[in-house]
C-alpha cells in the first residue's frame, strides 16, 4: 500500500512530440498536480511539491472516498470557469482559502493508477496502468474524470494547435511499456504555442541592448497593461531593438517598479520604461493567469521579430 507523501514522476520539456516506437499521448491540462491515496475509508491529497491539499478540495476527497476503498492515483486538479475554459487563477484562489462557491467547478482529472486493491502498480507498464485506470473510473461520479489519451500522434498535435483556448496546456508523451518511476524522466512534455503581438513598454538591461522586454496590451479602457515579459533575447536581436527603443519621456502608464507577482520574483522588479510605440511578434504558450482581474502570460514569451509594419494601436486588446 502506498502512503503519502509520494514522490511524483515528472516530464522533461521537449520541443517536439516523439515519433516512432510505442507512445501514448495525454492532454496536459492547465491545473495543479494532485496525487491521492485512499485507504481505511479516508482519502488524502498532496501536491507535486509534497504539500498536503486534502483540506482545500473537500468535494474531490468526498468523491474519492465514495468511489474507492484502496487506491493511489495521480492527476490534475482543474477549475472550469463560467466561460467553459480552465481557470488556473481560480484554482490558486481556492488553495489560498477562497470558499468553494467562489471559484467554479473543481475536477480531478486522473492520468495514472499507482496502486489498486493493495497491489503496487508503479513497476508495471503504462499500458496496463491505463487499462486499470479506465476500469477504476468507469461510472465514477463528478468531479472525478479520466484524462484524454490517444495513440495517434497526429491527433495529439491537434491538441497543441486547436485546443489551447479551452485550457489544454500541451501534450505529455509516455511510452506504453514504461513504468512509473520518479527517478527517470522518460515522459516528454510539449507545450502548445501560438503567435501573438505586444507593445514594448519596458526593458530589462540597457535600452541599447535589452536582455528582455516587458510587454503590454491595452485593456477595454485603452490603458496599456503589463501582460508579461520575454525570455532572454538572443544577442543579434538586442542591437536591432536598441536602435528603435527610446527612453520614456514624461508620463508613462506603468510604475517605476513592477510587482514581483508579474515575473515570480522575490521582490519588486527593476526595469527601464520606454516609449510604448514598438510592436513585437512573439511565441507564447497557453498558460494565462489573472492578476488583479486582468489576464497575463504566465511564462516568458519568445521574441520572434520586430513588427515595424504595425503601430501600437494595431495590437489586439486584452481578452
Q: Give φ, ψ of 62 to 5 degrees.
A: -65, -40
Residue 28 falls in the annotated catalytic set: yes
CA distance 213 to 36: 40
Among 28, 174, 185, 189, the active-site one is: 28
Adjacent-strand bridge partners of 131: none
How many C-beta neighbours within 10 Å does residue 92 have?
15
For 102, 167, 200, 211, the CA distances from 90, given in Å and listed in that order, are 8, 13, 28, 32
User: Taking a C-beta distance cutoff of 8 angstroms, is the pair 171, 25 a contact?
Assistant: yes
Beta strands (DSSP E) in the chain are 11-13, 23-29, 32-39, 42-46, 71-80, 105-116, 119-120, 144-146, 149-150, 168-175, 187-191, 193-204, 212-218, 224-229, 257-258, 269-270, 272-285, 288-291, 294-297, 302-306
Catalytic residues, by residue number, are: 28
Amino acid at each position: 500500500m502506498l502512503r503519502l507523501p509520494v514522490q511524483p514522476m515528472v516530464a522533461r520539456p521537449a520541443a517536439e512530440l516523439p515519433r516512432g516506437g510505442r507512445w501514448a499521448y495525454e492532454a496536459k491540462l492547465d491545473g495543479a498536480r494532485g496525487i491521492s491515496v485512499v485507504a481505511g475509508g479516508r482519502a488524502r491529497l498532496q501536491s507535486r511539491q509534497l504539500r498536503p491539499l486534502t483540506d482545500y478540495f473537500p468535494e474531490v476527497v468526498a468523491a474519492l472516498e465514495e468511489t474507492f476503498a484502496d487506491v493511489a492515483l495521480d492527476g490534475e486538479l482543474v477549475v472550469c470557469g463560467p466561460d467553459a475554459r480552465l481557470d488556473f487563477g481560480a484554482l490558486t484562489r481556492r488553495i489560498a482559502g477562497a470558499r468553494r462557491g467562489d471559484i467554479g467547478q473543481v475536477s480531478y482529472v486522473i492520468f495514472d493508477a499507482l496502486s489498486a486493491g493493495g497491489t503496487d502498480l508503479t513497476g508495471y507498464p503504462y499500458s496496463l496502468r491505463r487499462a486499470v485506470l479506465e476500469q477504476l473510473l468507469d461510472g465514477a461520479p463528478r468531479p472525478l474524470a479520466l484524462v484524454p489519451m490517444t495513440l495517434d500522434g497526429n491527433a495529439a498535435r491537434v491538441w497543441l494547435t486547436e485546443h489551447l483556448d479551452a485550457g489544454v496546456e500541451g501534450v505529455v508523451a509516455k511510452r506504453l511499456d514504461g513504468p512509473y518511476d520518479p527517478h527517470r524522466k522518460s515522459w516528454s512534455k510539449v507545450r502548445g504555442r501560438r503567435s501573438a503581438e505586444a507593445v514594448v513598454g519596458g526593458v530589462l538591461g540597457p535600452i541599447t541592448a535589452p536582455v528582455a522586454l516587458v510587454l503590454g496590451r491595452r485593456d477595454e479602457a485603452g490603458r496599456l497593461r503589463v501582460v508579461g515579459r520575454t525570455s532572454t533575447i538572443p544577442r543579434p536581436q538586442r542591437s536591432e531593438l536598441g536602435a528603435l527603443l527610446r527612453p520614456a519621456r514624461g508620463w508613462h502608464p506603468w510604475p517605476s517598479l513592477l510587482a514581483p507577482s508579474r515575473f515570480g520574483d522575490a521582490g519588486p522588479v527593476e526595469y527601464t520604461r520606454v516609449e510604448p510605440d514598438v510592436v513585437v511578434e512573439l511565441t507564447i504558450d497557453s498558460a494565462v493567469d489573472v492578476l488583479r482581474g486582468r489576464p497575463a502570460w504566465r511564462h516568458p514569451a519568445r521574441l520572434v521579430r520586430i513588427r515595424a509594419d504595425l503601430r501600437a494601436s494595431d495590437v489586439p486588446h486584452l481578452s
